[in-house]
Amino acid sequence: MIRTTGTIAAPWLEVWRARELLRSLATRNLKVKYQRSALGFLWTLLNPLLTLSVLSAVFTHVVKIKVPDYWAFLLSGYFVWNYLLQMLSTATYVLAEHAGLRRSVAFPSEVLVLSAAASRLVEFVVELALVLAVLLLLHHQALPASFALLPLLVALQILLSLGLVMPLAILSVFYNDVQHAMPVVLMVLFYASPVFYPARLVPEGVRRLYFLNPIAGLLTLYHEVLYEGRFPPAALLAGVTAASALLFFTGYAIFNRYKTVLAEIV
Amino acid sequence: MPAVPAVLCRGVVKRFYRYEHRTRSLRELFVRAFLRRPIHVRHAEFSLAGFDLRVEPGEAVALIGSNGSGKSTALRLIAGIYVPTEGIIETRGRLTAVIELGAGLQPELTGLENVSLYAAVLGLTRRELAARLPEILEFADLGDFIREPVKYYSSGMQARLAFSVALCVRPDVLLLDEVLAVGDQDFRHRCLERLREHLRRGGALVVVSHDVETVRELCARAVWLERGRVRMEGPAREVIAAYEAEGPGR
């Protein structure tokens, strides 16, 4: 095999060759997080559960929101929001965390982002299974056919989050500002996305503008499928799919454009 | 002489750009971009200015030179970590670079867990690792410590762990950067033995080292780099003699 360092091999092929590294790094993330922690996964659940309880109490008893079974509505979107939130914060440190590795071994840097996404996804899938069980038992009492769309929604969620995380990760290597700006951005996104209120409450006039935020579309899809238990409008599904794919390919292209200089920046 | 070399560098130039940023924040960046003012000034600095190297299978070559002469840059270019500004670099077969010993180690994980992670970093598949694990553990010779988190290891023990994995990868091209100075006498001796075996098997070796003794023991050929250019190339003894004749006080 002759490897010419000057040429850029197809990035997909590079990632495929580094799949063993990807798997090992994802395992490492989970091991480091859960070892010597007696409550382990409970901590991962506790934080969102407490937030959910507070939101649920406030919007059921204080600000009376017109959503029946409000807790079920919250539950159907909150873990997705939580996943996106954690991925966006990961973006600000994942490349810096492995600076030593990047300077001493040649491997496609996106493996670092992908392994962070993979280990987080493992946790999300467990959370989703629990959410499904609770919703089935206490909200639907029957299995809605719309649940069949879940794999597609998870796939869109992965594309969307990677599309946002990859360019952000690159940007945060060049500018520390990303790290400082992230809490504010996440706070704004929290209110600008249908996390604790349904998108249908957004005034008709600004709804077009509102759905420019791709997270709003994704969360609404989850609400339709999990909470309402019905198939979402085809236009919404197509829109979110197009937006996620576009974001992913643009984000990955930006990442690939700049990743060769990453090793030179510490 | 085989027709195809293990490592071939032709006219390799690596220019680093030192960016003198006019901006330190995104706000400034946007303002400047909007006003079409320059965002940064680029200063080119040559780290390598025309570097040629040919290493045959089974051959060991040492890169020597003072700090900042471009040795480590050359090694990182061959390893594929840096992309050359100009020139061609070709390597044949599996390549393993040990450039910063312990850079791939995770302090929170145990020695054993680190072995499998580091093996993946160096490109071993799970099956290959399973087959070579006994060999790796025997070579590292860390005893029960292998089950302790690496953060409790001494630097020598960390080096032994990382080096054991790297040597058991059995690469066609092995690149070592100043990593032979670690470990005790016994381990150093076993490492040298293993490196000779690597050469006998037809593996190529490129070493960056200040340790003249090791270079003399291991390498037949040496390349002396100075300010990014090849100052002298030839039999290791002659090159080292010339390099040492310049005196340590330079």
Q: Per-residue pLDDT tens for B115-124? A: 988 888 888 8
Q: Are A76 and A227 in contact (CB under 8 A)?
A: yes
More confident position, A9 or B39: B39
Residue B24 pLDDT grade (very low, low, confident, very high; cuts 50, 70, 90): low
Q: Which of A25, A100, A178 sits opposite B100 (nearest CB)?
A: A100
Give the residue from chain B lying closest to A98, CA to CA.
B104
Which pLDDT value is given to residue B223?
Answer: 93
How many Cβ atoms from other residues are within 10 Å of residue A201's Cβ?
Answer: 10
| Band of residue B125 on the pLDDT scale cut at 50, 70, 90 | confident
In chain B, what residues touch A3 (CB-CB under 8 Å)? 80, 90-92, 95
Cβ distance of A106 and B79 shorter than 8 Å: yes
Predicted TM-score of the model (pTM): 0.84
Phi, psi of A162 (to 5 degrees): -65, -40
pLDDT digits (tens, 9 = 90+) for B188-234: 888 889 899 999 999 999 999 877 888 888 899 999 998 888 999 99
Pick from B7-21, B53-67, B160-174: least confident: B7-21
Lowest-confidence region among A65-69, B30-34, B138-142, B168-172: B30-34
Pick from A164, A167, A186: which is nearest to A244 by CA? A164
Query: What pLDDT, on a 0 to 100 scale, did the predictor assign at position B20?
Result: 63
Residues of chain A short of pLDDT 50, as ranges, are 1-8
User: Is the model more confident about B69 or about A166?
Assistant: A166
Contact B97 A105 (CB under 8 A): yes
Residue of chain B nearest A20, judged by CA positions: B120
Contact call for residues B137 and B146 (beta carbons, < 8 A):
yes
Given a contact cutoff of 8 angstroms between Cβ atoms, the answer to whether B103 and A100 are in contact is: yes
What pLDDT, on the 0 to 100 scale, is given for residue B247?
65
Cβ neighbours for B57, distance < 8 A, ≥ 6 positions apart: B2, B5, B6, B92, B172, B202, B203, B204
Q: What is the ipTM of this complex?
A: 0.76
The residue behind tokens 């360019």 is: A167
Whole-number pLDDT of residue B23: 61
At residue B15, the pLDDT reads 84
Amino acid at the residue B146: I
Q: Which chain B residues are within 8 Å of A4, Cβ to Cβ?
A: 88-90
Q: Measured between alpha carbons, how far is A147 from A225 in angstroms, rounded to an integer?
A: 6
Query: In the structure encoding, which two tokens stand for residue B19, read together?
Result: 């960016």
Q: How many CB atoms lie within 10 A of CB A158?
A: 19
Q: CB burial class (10 A; 0-12, 13-18, 19+) of residue B16?
A: middle
**What gap in Å lies between CA A176 and CA A169, rounded to an integer?**
11
Question: Pick the residue with more confidence: A7 or B100?
Answer: B100
Output the six-digit token pair for B175. 């690149």
Does the CB of A264 have a partner CB in chain B at under 8 Å? yes
AA letter at B5: P
pLDDT for residue A209: 92
Q: Does B31 touch chain A (CB under 8 A)?
A: no
Of the residues B13, B17, B21, B26, the best mutation for testing chain A's interface (the one with the most A CB atoms within 10 Å of its CB) is B26
Pair of tokens at residue B12:
């390799």
Contact state of A20 with B117 under an 8 Å Cβ cutoff = no
Closest Cα to residue B97, out of B178, B156, B16?
A: B178
Nearest CA to B195 out of B228, B222, B220 is that of B220
Percent of chain B topping pLDDT 90: 27
Contact present, A157 and A121 (Cβ < 8 Å): no
Which of A33, A105, A179 to mutate: most B Cβ within 10 Å? A105
User: Quick one: closest CA in B to A262, which residue?
Assistant: B82
Instruction: Check residue B125 and report its DSSP letter.
Output: -
Comparison of pLDDT for B66 and B30, the residue scoring more: B66
Q: How far apart are CA A82 and CA A45, in angstroms?
A: 11
CA nearest neighbour of B46 among B21, B81, B65, B74 = B74
Q: Does B246 touch chain A (CB under 8 A)?
A: no
Cβ of residue B90 closer than 8 Å to a chain A Cβ: yes
What was the pLDDT predicted at B36?
72
CB B169 within 8 A of CB B124: yes
Residues for chain B: how many in total? 250
Q: Does A28 touch chain B (CB under 8 A)?
A: yes
pLDDT in tens, A124-140: 999 999 999 999 999 88
pLDDT in tens, B5-18: 889 999 888 888 76
Residue B150 near chain A (CB below 8 Å): no
- Chain A hits for B111, CB-CB cut-off 8 Å, are none
pLDDT average, residue stretch B145-157: 89
